[in-house]
Copies of this chain bind each other. A is one copy, B any other.
Amino acid sequence: MTAVKRADARKNIESIMDAATACLARDPDVSVAEIAKAAGVGRVTLYGHFESRATLVTQVVARAIQQSDEALGAVDLDGDPRAALRRLLEASWKLTQQYGALIVAAEQSMPHEQFQAIHVGLIDRWKPLMERGRSEGSFRDDQPLQWQLTLLQSVLHAASGAVYRGEIDAAEAAGLIDGTIQAALTAPE
């Protein structure tokens, strides 16, 4: 392959990955034909780079996971645990919005264990902060840590569904998530 052809191939792969990310984030059942169209390439070209829809979805998800992990890793978790939690929830919500239905596509196209392992990896980003907040008395510790981690994830997921169904505005979601979680992590008097 010549250098020009290799550069073309790289450009096509990138266009396909970007188009697939955007398409899957809107509709987890989007067809390969639609992704190819959005990427501005033919189906034959797409299948030349990705042997199946599942391969494409897996690679798109892997890249989204890596970017999500980097984004969460960049959040400042020092200082007041409740302020740090607010920053972490904001970043997590932004990723939830950005990747949307991609998570549904991932669940459908990869083995359940693999999906769980990836998900757990992201949630591990929350764990040290939750542990610190519990031990410093900022968060209630009368409930298992694991339950609180599940709750965080569940509230983000609930907000995503509520925005999708038009029950709440995307703009107010971050505030609702933070207001709900901060209250849930406060033990009643």
A111-133 vs B, Cβ < 8 Å mask (1 yes, 0 no): 00000000000000000000000
Find chain B residues with CB under 8 A from A184 CB. Answer: 180, 183-184
CA distance A185 to B142 in the complex (A): 18
Find chain B residues with CB under 8 A from A142 CB. Answer: 179
Inter-chain contact B143/A180, CB cutoff 8 Å: yes
A137-181 vs B, Cβ < 8 Å mask (1 yes, 0 no): 000101110110011011101100110000110000000100110
Inter-chain contact B147/A176, CB cutoff 8 Å: yes
Is A188 an interface position by the 8 A CB rule?
A: yes
Best-buried of A157, A176, A182 by chain B (most CB within 10 Å): A176
CA distance A105 to B118 in the complex (A): 25
Is A187 an interface position by the 8 A CB rule?
A: yes
Task: Name the distance in Å between A20's Cβ and chain B's nearest Cβ.
Answer: 24
Is A45 an interface position by the 8 A CB rule?
A: no
Find chain B residues with CB under 8 A from A183 CB. Answer: 140, 183-188
Task: Name the distance in Å between A77's Cβ and chain B's nearest Cβ.
Answer: 21
CA distance A176 to B150 in the complex (A): 12
Task: Name the distance in Å between A188's Cβ and chain B's nearest Cβ.
Answer: 6
CA distance A24 to B108 in the complex (A): 21
List which A21-56 residues lie within 8 A (CB) of chain B.
none
Partner of A176, one of B143, B161, B167, B176: B143
Binding site for B on A (CB under 8 A): 140, 142-144, 146-147, 150-151, 153-155, 157-158, 161-162, 167-168, 176, 179-180, 182-188
Q: Which 9 A-B pairs have the closest CB atoms?
A: A154-B158, A184-B184, A146-B167, A183-B184, A150-B162, A154-B154, A150-B158, A180-B184, A147-B176
